[in-house]
């Protein structure tokens, strides 16, 4: 019997996360006591990093959420890609995973959990990561995800705290998963739009992380439940910089702008807006639906890479040739300027002929 997992939940994917403001308050004051901790909770980065030796660090993360797709195997693939992304965002190589399972007994008996796990294992194999086991409990609403452990050389670490003025901001997946999921649940999305969104969410960020290293980037973050502006603000604060975003350069899923124009926003989009608050300033000509998409909670979104300006054109060329998802130059890093961390304008940033690899306004 076919199962539509959307019928079993009230919240979907990363839109179900605890609001960022409450989460930041909960973590405030949590200070790691070991000098081996290279990345802890203070910068709100994508994963924790613990130094084992001068040559190797552990990268650790856990991520799980309610169904984000109708089909159980799609759900498993997306949940795995999303959890693995935190390790990729730190520049690491995922090695092992443990499943986190909260599932209704009815769906366990009907084999739905088995199908979800099968989809997750498919993505773990693609990543070269081994599922060692996990923990499961019965729960009225389904939730599934993974705790992932990876490794990295300390000199190869990517963090959200190392952006440099002049860096070019490149996003490696299109925005719009939140509004698209809302449209799917409302019966307003075409089958092809649903398929493309699921394929994007299930795509690993392994290649994007490889391209970040290839271009000499030292700063990146993945864009998930707090939206592009929420994660960009965390990066700006951690790095002590300001960011400029050009909305016309932001890649979008097919139909996402139309869904935003129809107001198909989740509650998480509004909490993300509150979280960013006065840290962002929009130019008057940036339309409201475009603004909304910058707060849209993403599930298994792309990496936001801070690329050295001299390598930006190369990175974009590699990304267009080697990534299975659309990408775009979405902005640049500037010197810090008071409490306003992000400015958003209409025009896109494009490679400039006068400064090779740098971005100028079109």
Please name the fold of domain 168-361: Phosphoribosyl-aminoimidazole Synthetase; Chain A, domain 2 (3.90.650)
From first to last of its 362 residues, the chain has per-residue pLDDT tens of 478 887 777 777 666 677 766 766 666 667 777 999 999 988 999 999 999 999 999 999 999 999 999 999 999 999 999 999 999 999 999 999 999 999 999 999 899 999 999 999 999 999 999 999 999 999 999 999 999 999 999 999 999 999 999 999 999 999 999 999 999 999 999 999 999 999 999 999 999 999 999 999 999 999 999 999 999 999 999 999 999 999 999 999 999 999 999 999 999 999 999 999 999 999 999 999 999 999 999 999 999 999 999 999 999 999 999 999 999 999 999 999 888 999 999 999 875 533 433 343 33
Measure the CA–CA gap between 168 and 187, rounded to whole angstroms. Answer: 38
Helices (H), 9-104: 20-27, 72-89
Contact partners, residue 58, CB within 8 Å, separation at least 6: 49, 50, 52, 149, 150, 151
pTM of the prediction? 0.93
Q: Where in the chain is the domain with CATH 3.30.1330.10?
A: 5-156
State the burial class of residue 200 (Cβ atoms within 10 Å of its Cβ: 0-12, 13-18, 19+).
buried
Catalytic residue, from 12, 14, 57, 327: name it.
Answer: 14
In the beta sheet, which residues pair with residue 37? 50
φ, ψ for residue 337, nearest 5 deg: -145, 80
Query: How many Cβ atoms are within 10 Å of 120's Cβ, its own excluded?
Result: 26
Measure the CA–CA gap between 215 and 316, rounded to whole angstroms. Answer: 10
Q: What was the pLDDT predicted at 32? A: 75
Q: What is the CATH number of domain 5-156?
A: 3.30.1330.10
Contact 334, 165 (CB under 8 A): yes
Q: Where in the chain is the domain with CATH 3.90.650.10?
A: 168-361
Q: What is the DSSP string of 111-150?
A: THHHHHHHHHHHHHHHHT-EEEEEEEEE-SS-EEEEEEEE
Active site residue 129: no
Contact partners, residue 24, CB within 8 Å, separation at least 6: 44, 275
Q: What was the pLDDT predicted at 362? A: 32
């Amino acid at each position: 019997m076919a199962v539509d997992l959307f019928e079993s939940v009230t919240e979907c994917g990363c839109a179900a996360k605890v609001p960022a403001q409450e989460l930041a308050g909960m973590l405030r004051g949590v200070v790691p006591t070991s000098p081996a901790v290279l990345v802890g909770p203070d910068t709100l980065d994508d994963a924790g990093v613990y130094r084992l030796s001068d040559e190797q660090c552990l990268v650790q993360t856990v991520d799980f959420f309610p169904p984000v797709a109708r089909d159980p195997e799609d759900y498993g693939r997306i949940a795995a890609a999303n959890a693995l992304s935190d390790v990729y965002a730190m520049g690491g190589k995922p090695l092992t995973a443990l499943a986190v399972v909260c599932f209704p007994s009815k769906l366990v008996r009907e084999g739905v959990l088995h199908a979800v796990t099968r989809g997750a294992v498919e993505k773990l194999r693609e990543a070269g990561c081994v599922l060692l086991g996990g923990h499961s409990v019965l729960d009225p609403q389904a939730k599934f995800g993974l705790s992932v452990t990876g490794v990295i050389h300390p000199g190869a670490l990517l963090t959200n705290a190392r952006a440099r003025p002049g860096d070019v901001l490149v996003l490696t997946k299109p925005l719009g998963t939140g509004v698209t999921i809302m449209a799917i649940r409302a019966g307003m999305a075409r089958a092809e739009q649903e398929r493309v969104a699921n394929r994007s969410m299930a795509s690993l960020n392994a290649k994007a992380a490889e391209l970040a290293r290839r271009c000499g980037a030292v700063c990146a973050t993945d864009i998930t439940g707090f939206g592009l502006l929420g994660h960009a603000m965390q990066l700006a604060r951690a790095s002590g910089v300001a960011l400029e975003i050009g909305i016309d350069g932001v890649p979008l899923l097919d139909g996402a702008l139309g869904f935003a124009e129809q107001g198909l926003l989740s509650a998480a989009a509004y909490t993300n807006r509150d979280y960013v608050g006065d840290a962002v300033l929009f130019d008057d000509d940036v339309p409201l639906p475009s603004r909304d998409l910058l707060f849209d909670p993403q599930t298994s979104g792309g990496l936001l890479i801070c690329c050295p300006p001299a390598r930006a054109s190369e990175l974009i060329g590699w990304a267009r040739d080697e990534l299975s998802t659309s990408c775009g130059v979405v902005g640049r890093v500037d010197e810090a300027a008071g409490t306003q961390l992000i400015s958003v304008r209409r025009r896109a940033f494009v490679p400039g002929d006068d400064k090779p690899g740098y971005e100028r306004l079109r």
